[in-house]
Structure 1
Amino acid sequence: MTRSIRPLVAGNWKMNGLKADLGIAAAVAQGYGAGLKAAVDLAICPPATLLFTASAALIGSRIATGGQDCSVQPSGAFTGEISAAMLADAGATFCIVGHSERRTLHGETDATVKAKAVAARKALLVPIVCVGETREEREAGEALSVVRRQLEGSVPEGLDGASLVIAYEPVWAIGTGLTPTAADVAEMHASIRADLGRILGEAAAAGVRLLYGGSVKPSNAAELMNVPHVDGALVGGASLKAEDFLAIAQACA
């Protein structure tokens, strides 16, 4: 953890959740007691169909909500797209952009991710910009350079710790149960902090929260959250279980 940075644990529900599953968010709110509130921020990114209802249900809980993606366009004839302004109007504070599933399944480039981050900021959302290497890239010794390239192409200039979150998610660890070693995470997060210093300036980069994501669960959260420059977690499957999500938050606290 970075002592000067308040950690954030964000849950990405992905394409999971119906109205009946809003009980998960309610259970998280119930378990988010004074001790946790004093130590760590929480956010839940449900599917867009639940965003307004979840945001309304969480009013007063100090748990933020976020979108899982946004359009680069502010409005217009773009059937099926959801703008950043729409997410903000539904109660969102954050917006995930550049998740590896968007990059790989939908062919999103760094330039597209950057445009989405810019769109999110225009709507006063905080973009959670995702970066990460594939297994082949790591085995080839290219992990640091791949993530550096993604950061340079995906992160808009002029942002700081109040307007940007970075999530490092090694592609090969997402949903697989595999995680890099603590030493690998430490090396990557230190590199990301340095790269952000060159992109944003050292003062701005120093306050940006760097989340780790990729098979984060209660059994490994304490080790991962105690790695230098890890300022919280972007949680996938474990965020669909209130008990597990809160346990990961407790590891940050």
Structure 2
Amino acid sequence: MRKKIVAGNWKMNKTIEEALALVSEVANMVKDEVSTDVQVVVAPPALYLSTLQKYTEAVPNLGVSAQNCHQKASGAYTGEVSAAMLKSIAVEYVILGHSERRQYFGETNEQLAEKVNIALENGLTPIFCCGESLEQRNGGNFLEFVSSQLTESLFHLSPEDFAKVVIAYEPIWAIGTGLTASSEQAQEMHAHLRKHLAAKYGQEAADNTSILYGGSCNEKNAPELFACPDVDGGLIGGASLKSREFVNIAKSF
């Protein structure tokens, strides 16, 4: 049975005072209101990870994630954070290949394969992001494009390692554009990705892989999206910065 997961990507937002207030509110709400079979994850800026853990560790189904890690184990990479550093402060998850990392920092599928490897070597659960632009969607080859992201960054993994990966589908064309992916469009892509995984790793492995939706998911559309048979939760952006809305999304299953 695959996990239901709602992860909040805070991106480059919140001062430490604001972050402490937000995580405290989320922790109390998750403890009181969210079913324990839903895994909730918060991904604050790396600077705050260890500070916020005293709030999350008291709630069994609330974890913390880094927003990124470097593909090398260590070295002269000023400003970067390694997987070993994250593991040393008991971080559980790391978001890899987010559309903003691909767009603004030029991350490639090859680099992301390295990042996935080192995350797994250090016992982190990668939340691997994939998705297509509006140009690719309109071009008609969007299913094949997103499949290729999985193939090039994940399909070198052994079945045992692949089983530790969470996938997040981000329709880039539906993020901050005013356009919205319908539940039918989300389900189409999630079902296609699961079929693609099954062709490589077998149906059982595909059925056990959590695939999250990450395109402007909010408390209004989450119930319909999460009702789709192949949508196992969400990677939430802006709505994760508001404790009540974020927890309401986690309650949408």
TM-score w.r.t. the length of structure 2 is 0.94
Output the CA distance in 1 between the equivalents of 2:178 and 2:37. Answer: 27
Output the CA distance in 2 between the equivalents of 1:114 and 1:95. Answer: 14
Instruction: Report if aligned partners of 1:12, 1:234 keep a CA contact under 8 Å in 2.
Output: yes
Aligned length: 249
How many angstroms does 1:39 deviate by? 3.0
How many angstroms does 1:203 deviate by? 2.3
How many angstroms does 1:38 deviate by? 2.4
Map of 1:46 onto structure 2: 44
User: Structure 1 regions of 5+ residues with no counterpart?
Assistant: none
Output the CA distance in 1 between the equivalents of 2:43 and 2:218. Answer: 17
SS in 1 for 2:49: helix
- Residues 8 and 202 of structure 1: CA distance in aligned 2, closer, same or farther (over 3 Å): same
How many angstroms does 1:41 deviate by? 0.6
User: Structure 2 regions of 5+ residues with no counterpart?
Assistant: none
Map of 2:16 onto structure 1: 19
Kindly indicate whether residue 139 of structure 2 is the aligned counterpart of residue 140 of structure 1.
yes
Q: Which amino acid aligns with 2:158?
A: G
SS in 1 for 2:8: strand
Map of 1:33 onto structure 2: 31
Output the CA distance in 2 between the equivalents of 1:121 and 1:76. Answer: 19
Map of 2:65 onto structure 1: 66
Map of 1:184 onto structure 2: 185
SS in 2 for 1:157: coil
SS in 1 for 2:149: helix
Map of 1:227 onto structure 2: 228
Match of 1:6 among 3, 8, 17: 3
Map of 2:123 onto structure 1: 124
Map of 1:158 onto structure 2: 158
| Cα offsets for 1:204-236 (capped at 9, x unmatched) | 222110000011111111111111210000000
Output the CA distance in 2 between the equivalents of 1:35 and 1:69. Answer: 29
Instruction: Report if aligned partners of 1:178, 1:215 keep a CA contact under 8 Å in 2.
Output: no
**After TM superposition, which residue ranges in structure 1, 4 or more long, deviate above 4 angstroms?**
159-162
Kindly indicate whether residue 209 of structure 2 is the aligned counterpart of residue 208 of structure 1.
yes
Instruction: Report if aligned partners of 1:55, 1:90 keep a CA contact under 8 Å in 2.
Output: no
Instruction: Report if aligned partners of 2:8, 2:236 keep a CA contact under 8 Å in 1.
Output: yes
| Cα offsets for 1:57-99 (capped at 9, x unmatched) | 3221121001101001111222111001111222310000000
Map of 1:243 onto structure 2: 244
CA RMSD of aligned residues (A): 1.5
Q: Which amino acid aligns with 2:96?
A: V
